[in-house]
């Protein structure tokens, strides 16, 4: 089983590849990587970070992979550094996804109702196009509103409307981080046939990389043949546990989630569920 993760490498501040690699590998499957950019830290709350865009390297990497004849059972894309990278991911999916393979897009673009630094309206439009090619999309509330062209935020009351709009873009949207009273929920639908959710107690404070922990665990479950609804449940349980642990252990939330010590429990639930 081969999973390809397309994401940036933020050297400090656990997110993207530094989260996906350990979690997906721990699930017992090959995790190949395509780094989209190298940053000294992620962009969420750090000042003066470096950013090396790797767009120009990608065509050469793909050319080499073509000579190897490799195919991926899962392709999971996250933070893409430029509009050109979105186009390259689309080509990559067409050429390298195995016949029965699945394409998972985390449309990383923003949080808290705002686009991340460096992202534009044109980028949102292009990302909507990539989501149309995906089997699953995993937007947070901000990204769901941007994709569905719906006013921020997603709530318990309007979740059905937003999810149905998203289902017109991709058959299986999974929206994370919806605040429901004192809880936080993940809502999903398959082709708009019913709206389902899992809820956890909300922990104060925003952790960069929480979406990456969720998405990586979800992909790790799918790669183990776990049914999608169960995969969402296990990934949200795992993410909630890492958030609760981090609230106790991590002083500066920019440095990311303390997910490492929760991996064993997650694997236990994955293997013996």
Using CB under 6 A, list all residues that contact ligand PXL. 8, 10, 15-16, 39, 42-44, 79, 108, 116, 208-209, 211-212
For the CB of residue 82, give the shortest distance to ligand PXL in the complex, in Å. Answer: 13
User: Closer CB to ligand PXL, residue 22 or residue 171?
Assistant: 22
Strands 136-137 and 97-105: parallel
Nearest C-alpha neighbor of 209 from the set 27, 1, 46, 26? 46
| Pick 19 or 162: Cβ nearer ligand PXL | 19
Q: Which is nearer to ligand PXL, 107 or 173 (CB)?
A: 107
Q: DSSP 3-state assignment of 127?
A: helix
Backbone angles phi, psi at 21, to 5 degrees: -60, -55
Q: In the complex with ligand PXL, which residue's Cβ is closer, 116 or 196? A: 116
Tell me how far apart the alpha carbons of residues 78 and 188 are, in angstroms, rounded to a whole number: 19
Cβ closest to ligand PXL, residue 174 vs residue 208: 208
CB of 141 to ligand PXL, least distance (A): 14
Least CB distance to ligand PXL at residue 49 (A): 8
195 CB-side CA count, 13 A: 17
Would you say 55 and 85 are in contact if contact means Cβ atoms under 8 Å apart?
Answer: yes
Residue 69 CB, nearest distance to ligand PXL (Å)? Answer: 31
Spatial contact of 37 and 9, defined as CB atoms under 8 Å apart: yes
Strands in 174-180's sheet, in edge-to-edge order, are: 174-180, 183-189, 195-201
Would you say 209 or 220 has its CB closer to ligand PXL?
Answer: 209
What does the angle CA 137 – CA 266 – CA 160 come to, to the nearest 5 degrees?
30
C-alpha dihedral sign at 26, 32, 34, 38: positive
**Please, what is the minimum distance in Å from the beta carbon of residue 55 to ligand PXL?**
14
Per-residue DSSP letter, 70: -
Shortest separation between residue 15's beta carbon and ligand PXL, angstroms: 4
């Amino acid at each position: 089983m081969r999973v390809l993760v397309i994401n940036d490498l933020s050297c400090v501040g656990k997110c993207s590849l530094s989260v996906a690699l350990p979690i997906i590998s721990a699930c017992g499957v090959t995790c190949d990587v395509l780094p989209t950019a190298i940053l000294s830290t992620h962009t969420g709350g750090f000042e003066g970070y470096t950013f090396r865009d790797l767009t120009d390297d990608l065509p050469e990497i793909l050319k080499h992979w073509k000579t190897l004849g490799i195919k991926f059972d899962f392709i999971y894309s996250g933070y893409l550094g430029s509009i050109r990278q979105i186009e390259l991911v689309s080509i990559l999916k067409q050429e390298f996804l195995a016949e029965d393979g699945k394409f998972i897009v985390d449309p990383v673009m923003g949080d808290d109702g705002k686009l991340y630094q460096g992202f534009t309206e044109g980028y949102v439009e292009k990302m909507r196009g990539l989501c149309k090619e995906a089997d699953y999309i995993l937007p947070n509330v901000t990204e769901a509103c941007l994709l569905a062209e719906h006013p921020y935020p997603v709530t318990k009351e309007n979740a059905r409307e937003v999810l149905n709009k998203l289902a017109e873009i991709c058959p299986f949207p999974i929206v994370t981080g919806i605040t429901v009273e004192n809880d936080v929920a993940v809502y999903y639908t398959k082709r708009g046939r019913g709206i389902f959710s899992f809820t956890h107690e909300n922990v104060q404070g925003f952790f960069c990389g929480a979406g990456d922990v969720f998405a990586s665990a979800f992909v790790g479950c799918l790669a183990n043949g776990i049914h999608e609804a169960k995969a969402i449940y296990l990934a949200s349980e795992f993410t909630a546990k890492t958030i609760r642990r981090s609230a106790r252990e991590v002083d500066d939330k920019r440095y990311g989630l303390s997910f490492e010590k929760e991996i064993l429990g997650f694997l236990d639930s994955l293997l013996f569920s």
